[in-house]
Chain A
Amino acid sequence: MNTRNTKVMNRFDVTSRLVAKLRHEEAVIGGIGNTNFDLWAAGHRPQNFYMLGSMGLAFPIALGVALAQPGRRVFALEGDGSLLMQLGALSTIAALKPQNLTMIVMDNGVYQITGAQPTPAADVADIVAIAIGSGLANSAWAADEEDFERLVDDAMAGAEPRLIAVRIDDKPGVGTTRRDPVQIRERFMHGLGVREPL
């Protein structure tokens, strides 16, 4: 499916639809900026991890969680600009084939948070084609919200990594994550059952 034929959706709405489907303490990694702001705004869960920097590392961090806990589903939310920083990670994930990892890319073609400058890829590159070319054969554009939910359901039942790309508008995130990295990390570890609170 070509990106031009897909509906322009909203990041917070799509994120909320994902979170509403999580029933088994699935881990969710939110990339920097708006991506994790909307994850936060969709309602904090102990299994959410919010990045405050290291642009482009949402998928590698999620891969690490997925390798550590193969029995848990892991979702990663990333912006198109962030993904462009770390395209090689797609091949790493394709090579390792974690059965429990799903990557979601929110593609608005701009660096919204810095002033909505277009990304270099905006008019020329197709993120799903890049993902498929990187070895993630199951990747797809979500045509609309219903299609996004269907793709998430497929991912929940699937046994190989996949990327779901969503064309979104240029609205900013609707919340602001509390920027407390130690508490974010500690509570995430509690949420994953790695540690008990003091």
Chain B
Amino acid sequence: MAIAEQQTSPQAALGSSERSWHGIVLQTLKRNEISLVPYVPDRVLTPLIKNLHADPFFTTFATAREEEAVGIVSGAWMGGRRGAVLMQTSGFATLANVLASLAVPYQIPLIMFVSERGTLGEFNYGQSLVCRTMRPVLDSLALEHHTITRLDELGFITDRSIKQAVTTQAPVALILNPLLTGGKVFDK
């Protein structure tokens, strides 16, 4: 269902129920009092981003780079406000330095949502290559990460992972696989 929604038009999914992948993510963020959501946009993330903007609970905005967004939510955490960063696979690839020099050593519960490009129908060779760097970088820092492929597991994984990040003061990457979101397919 989510796949069909996504492949036709992100707009069509905007008013959809909380049972869509983006509805579940939004509600899980809210339930965990995560109100600050900077992002570098991604086509697949569009319905989530639009609904975050539409909900006054959230302060959500675009940043110029993903590491900038990581800096912002890190500062906010230290100031007592919870945040999460939305990005695409290629954006994650810019984060090794800030993960290793800020989030991990300062023990900041950095919550990252990564829309996964580069697999299951990728049409851009560069995207498929950069995708292969993501999990080795996460593993090299021993960071918790989950690849979410099923709608029925999304709420559990997301909710538990956010709570674990906060209580253990450790970053987590939640990778939104095309099996969950529909991904981006070659259209034009």
Contact = CB atoms under 8 A, between A and B. Distances in A.
Interface of A: 27, 29, 49, 51-57, 59-69, 72, 86-89, 91-92, 95-96, 181-182, 184-185, 188-189, 192-194
Contacts of A56: 67
Nearest to B62: A92
Contact of B71 (A64, A182, A189, A193): A64
A63 B105 contact: no
Interface stretch (B78-86, B113-121, B128-136, B144-152): B78-86
Contacts of A63: 71-72, 75
A95 B75 contact: no
Contact of A54 (B73, B76, B98): B98
Given A62-B75, A182-B105, 6 more contacts: A53-B101, A55-B97, A57-B67, A60-B67, A66-B79, A67-B79
Interface of B: 36, 38, 59, 61-65, 67-81, 83, 97-98, 100-102, 105-108
Given A54-B101, A68-B75, A185 B107 contact: yes
A181 B75 CA distance: 14
Contacts of A95: 61
A53 B102 contact: yes
A92 B97 contact: no
B74 A61 contact: yes
B79 to A, nearest CB: 3
Contacts of A194: 78-80
Nearest to B95: A54
Nearest to B104: A181
20 contacts: A29-B75, A51-B102, A53-B98, A54-B101, A57-B98, A60-B72, A63-B71, A64-B78, A64-B79, A68-B36, A68-B80, A68-B81, A69-B81, A89-B68, A92-B64, A95-B61, A185-B78, A185-B106, A188-B78, A194-B78
A125 B70 CA distance: 27
A88 B68 contact: yes
Contacts, number: 126
Contacts of A55: 97
A86 B78 CA distance: 21
Nearest to A53: B101
Contacts of A192: 78-80
B71 A57 contact: yes
Contact of B97 (A53, A69, A89, A185): A53
Contacts of B81: 64, 67-69
B65 A61 contact: no
Contacts of B108: 185
Nearest to B103: A54
A54 B71 contact: yes
Contacts of A61: 71-72, 74-75, 78
Given A57-B102, A96-B61, A69 B107 contact: no
Most chain A Cβ neighbours within 10 Å, of B69, B71, B79: B79
Contacts of B71: 54, 57, 59-61, 63-64, 89
